[in-house]
Amino acid sequence: QVEPVESGGGLVQAGGSLRLSCAASGRTFGVCAVGWFRQAPGKERRELVAAISSNGVMKHIADSVKGRFTISRDTNKNTVYLQMNSLKPEDTAVYYCYADQAPDLLSSTDDTWAFRGQGTQVTVSS
């Protein structure tokens, strides 16, 4: 069982930056692919923002955030980061960390992923 825990959300002005972290205990997290999804206010679906394979080689960044967001992982700390720069009000959402033991899973469908954290709120003011 993998239990991702997100941190780093908050309130920021447009143009600012935040770094989200997703951590989980145990060595199993280190062999998981990890994805960041977000759910904007009033939206039913969660959007894949970024995903990274277990070895960090394969990455996916959504077109809506390309050039502004990057994803990385630190295997020593068992943590995956989502660096968010040049934030816009439309980035406001609850951000969720997902994980799956399929090492190269970069699926944009959230129910494909096996494990999910509780989410962290990101609010970008204009």
* Each residue's pLDDT expressed in tens, for the chain with a length of 126 residues: 899 999 999 999 999 999 999 999 777 898 999 999 999 999 999 999 999 999 999 999 999 999 999 999 998 899 999 999 999 999 999 999 999 999 888 999 999 999 999 999 999 999
φ/ψ of residue 110, rounded to 5: -65, -30
Residue type present at position 126: S
φ/ψ of residue 18, rounded to 5: -145, 155
The H or E element spanning position 73 is: strand 69-74
End-to-end CA distance of the chain: 40
pLDDT of residue 120: 98
